[in-house]
Amino acid sequence: MTITSVRLALGLLALCFIQIRTAGAATINAADCSQSAVAAAMSSAADGDTVAVPGGSCSWSSLRIRKQVKLSGAGADASRISCARGTCAETTVNNVRITGFAFSNCGDCLVMRGIGWRVDHNKFDNTTHSVGVRARGEGDLVQPSGLVDHNNFTYTTVHSNGSVFMRRERDYQDSLWARDPGFGTGQGLYVEDNTFAYGINAVDCNYAGQFVFRFNTVINTYLESHSVQGNNRACQRWEIYNNRLSNTTWVVAFLRGGSGYVFGNTNNNSDPIALNNIRDTRSPETAGPCNGSSNWDQNTAGQAGYSCRDQIGRSRDAVRWTPGAAYDQPLTPAYIWNNTTSHGGGRQIDVRLQRPSTPSHIVADRDFYAYHAAFDGTTGVGSGALAARPTSCTTGVGYWATDQGNWNATGPSGVLFTCTAPNVWTLTYTPYAYPHPLTVVEGRP
């Protein structure tokens, strides 16, 4: 074979690769923004394609996204979708991206299933409270995992639901609670670099859900996680950090179940971070109150049922559980530090037990550890350079080493050490990479 023929063959081979690559990442243009036109474009698309939607004002009702596509509007001020108080669009597959729209008049604007999905650079405008994005688990026992970033939410919230099935119907929530909660990993719902204004709450979590809420701006609303309610399990995991809040409506965060980390948040008023065990004051269906009478709980003698199923300081079942089986939830305390308020000269945001009718259920330096400015290794959480960490420590306390880690590409990082045995410090928590890796897949934040 001559050099010329070799070059020709290589050129043809390269052209084939280009054609294959182009065919695998084509752009399919919808004729207009109507649901029928968008559905027709998606029917012509393949996994990996972009479905481009032109500007305009249209109405959608539960548009089904069954392919792994990028659904791209003309921009949040150009492609406006109204949803008649219902669902605008819902996914049935992984790795979907929805970007460049304004959604309004929703019940649940977007329902996102599976993993690897992204919802970014949209507006969610409602005049009454609604759900902008619902991360929703199904029957595949996979924690819904995706990214919600660079959106504007008005009177809309983001929800994390590990399973939508009541426990009387399916046992998916019990199975999710028996899995590693994945602190510091990409598992679960990530909510970052958004603006939330007004509404009942900015984020809500229940039914074995998980969420990470970071680097957001929150105005006139707050954050929430649920405990056991009805016949359902609590929110399992939360990580809340580096958010800027203002004019919160009675609390910064209302945390009632599961465990996690809250740090580096700022607020302009004196609202607290509130911890609560709802079964102290209410009697949910099936589980009943946590007072020593329910087979959902540990029922330690003399402690009014402690520890309560899925309460603050518990993040998993050691084995998959069914009601009546032995209680087996290892203690995984929550850690709360370096949260400040400009009200009163930049002091720490209070950590408060909300309506604590049973004080033995949620106890400081057991179920949660809060920041101590004069940290000496005996109680709470300290913060500073690693070299300033006390050499001695009491089991359970924490120390945030501000000069360690490189997870934050935009500024200071930090990692958490906890005292795992008397005078033994162990690195136990490093936040997940920021910005989230899904934001750079296409080279744009």
Give me the phi and psi of 305, to 5 degrees please.
Answer: 95, -15
Instruction: Supply the DSSP symbol for 391.
Output: S
Smallest CA-to-CA distance from 433 within 210, 186, 241, 240 is with 186
**Could you tell me how many residues make up the chain?**
445
Q: Could you give the angle at the alpha carbon of 86 between the alpha carbons of 81 and 90, nearest 5°?
A: 75
pTM of the model: 0.93
The letter for the amino acid at 119 is: V
Please, are residues 76 and 121 in contact by the beta-carbon 8 Å criterion? yes
Burial class (CB in 10 A: 0-12, 13-18, 19+), 318: exposed
In sequence order, the β-bridge partners of residue 102 are 80, 123
Cα separation, 403 vs 178, whole angstroms: 34
Write the DSSP symbol of residue 235.
P
**If the chain, 445 residues long, is cut into consecutive pieces of 10 residues, what is the mean pLDDT of each piece?**
36 32 74 98 97 98 97 97 95 96 96 96 93 88 93 97 81 93 97 96 96 98 94 96 96 97 96 94 88 96 96 97 93 98 85 86 97 97 98 98 98 98 98 96 52
Residue ranges of alpha helices (H) inside 305-434 are none
DSSP type of residue 306:
P
Q: What is the dihedral of CA 215, 240, 129, 58, to 10 degrees?
A: 50
**pLDDT for the residue numbered 11:** 37
Is the CB of residue 191 less than 8 Å from the CB of residue 203?
Answer: yes
Q: Residue 371: how many CB atoms within 10 A of its CB?
A: 22
Q: How many CB atoms lie within 10 A of CB 408?
A: 17
Contact (Cβ atoms closer than 8 angstroms) between residue 258 and residue 310: yes
Q: What pLDDT was estimated at residue 376?
A: 98
- The amino acid at residue 379 is T
CATH architecture group of domain 28-369: 3 Solenoid (2.160)
Q: Which residues of 36-68 are buried (b: 16+ CB within 10 A; e: fewer)?
A: ebbbebbeebeeebbbbbeeeebebeebebebb
Predicted pLDDT of residue 173: 92
How many CB atoms within 10 Å of residue 342? 13
Q: What tokens were used for 21?
A: 């690559």
Q: What is the pLDDT at residue 355? A: 79
First and final CA of the chain: distance in angstroms?
49
pLDDT of residue 23: 44
Residue keyed to tokens 């008649």: 84
Give me the residue label for tokens 């990530």.
190
| d(C-alpha 370, C-alpha 307), whole Å | 20
**Structural domain spans, the chain:** 28-369, 374-429
Which two tokens mark 285? 């269906």
Q: Which two tokens stand for residue 26?
A: 């084509």
The DSSP call for residue 414 is: -
